[in-house]
Structure 1
């Protein structure tokens, strides 16, 4: 029996709410499939530091995890992050893109909800 999954839109909405409760800006850059679209996250730490793109993947136990190296280990410019996501969108037109703007690089998926 397949495991129950939260819909992508619900995950996005709850992440935006959690960010708002912390005073952090979170914006949907691209809407995807509301039920099962993959969610990519841009962690934007400002021009001085740059962006990290998180891509969804599964670990050995098939649990959802976030791959920080989607654009490489080091932060990239916002333009490079957007170019990477445009390439991904061509492969998967149903994906979501959520941008989180926080100088400290808050990652909503590294903590318990």
Structure 2
């Protein structure tokens, strides 16, 4: 059984803040099982967007994990990331948007499962 999205987001933000990375919920989605989109702003006008990984990459023996994949390998201009988020919200109004700010682009998503 997977953690409620609201609990996962709170834990993720605490992990970021413990490393000195500012993070905030920009949009609250469904408490129980909303998809989470994480925007990592590098404070130079660009950002990387992490989206839920496709179901095909999940390990059936570990169904509680939340896996993420970056939309692109390199940071993108923030307006293009915002356009993508707008499209995602239109498609899935239950989605969450979490934003962090870190010059080094650290995301900690590999630690927050």
TM-score, with length taken from structure 2: 0.85
Say if 2:37 and 2:95, in contact at 8 Å, map to a contact too. yes
Distance 2:59 2:14 in 1: 29
Counterpart of 1:99? 99
Query: Is the partner of 1:104 in helix, strand or coil?
Result: coil
Q: Give the counterpart of 2:4 among 7, 12, 27.
A: 7
Distance 2:17 2:80 in 1: 26
User: For 1:1-113, what aligned pairs fall within 5 Å after superposition?
Assistant: 4-47=1-44, 50-57=46-53, 58=55, 59=57, 61-62=59-60, 64-68=66-70, 70=71, 72-111=72-111
Flag structure 2 segments of 5+ consecutive residues without an equivalent. Answer: none
TM-score, with length taken from structure 1: 0.85
Distance 1:89 1:31 in 2: 11
Distance 1:31 1:44 in 2: 19
Distance 1:55 1:112 in 2: 14
Aligned length: 107
Distance 1:90 1:12 in 2: 21
Distance 1:112 1:81 in 2: 22
Q: Which has the higher contact order (CA 8 A, sep 6+)?
A: 2
